[in-house]
Structure 1
Amino acid sequence: MAEIRRRKEGEPVSDDPSSQSDRRSAADSSDHVDSEEEKSPEDKYVEELSKNLPQGTDKTPEILGQALKDLPDRWKNWVIRGIFTWIMICGFGLIIYGGPLALMITTLLVQVKCFHEIISIGYQVYRIHGLPWFRSLSWYFLLTSNYFFYGENLVDYFGVAINRVGYLKFLVTYHRFLSFAMYCVGFVWFVLSLVKKYYMKQFSLFAWTHVSLLIVVTQSYLIIQNIFEGLVWFIVPVSMIVCNDVMAYMFGFFFGKTPLIQLSPKKTWEGFIGGGFATIIFGFLISYFLCTYQYFVCPIEYSEELNSMTMACEPSPLFTKQSYSLALLGLKSTSIRMYPFVWHSLSLSLFSSIIGPFGGFFASGFKRAFKIKDFGDMIPGHGGIMDRFDCQFLMATFVNVYISSFIRMASPAKLLTQIFSLKPEQQVQIFDVLQENLKNRNLLNLNMN
Structure 2
Amino acid sequence: MGSRSHPYSGDGNHTKSYYAASANPSPERPELVGDHHIDICIVGAGYSGLSTGLHLVEKGYKVAIIEGARVGWGASGRNGGQIVNGLNASLQTIKKRYGQDTATFVAGLVQEGGEIIRERISTYNIQCDLKDKNIFTGLTSAHMKELEERMKLWASYGLKNQEMLDRDQLRKYVNSDLYTGGMIDHSGGHMHPLNLALGEAAAFERNGGIIYEMSAVTDVDHKVTQPVVRTARGSMTCKTLILCGNAYLGHVVPTLTPRVMPVSTQVMATEPLGEARARELIPSDACVEDIRYILDYYRLSGDKRMLFGGGTVYGGADPSNIKAKLQRNMDKVFPQLKGIKIDYAWSGNFALSFSRVPQMGRIGGNTYFAHGYSGHGVTGSHTFGRILAEAVHGDMTRFDVFARVPWYPFPGGRMFRVPYSVMGSWWYSLRDKMGM
Larger radius of gyration: 1
The structure with more strand, counted as a fraction of residues: 2
- Is TM-score (shorter-chain normalized) higher than 0.5? no
- Higher RCO (C-alpha 8 Å, min separation 6): 2
The structure with more helix, counted as a fraction of residues: 1
TM value normalised by structure 1: 0.24
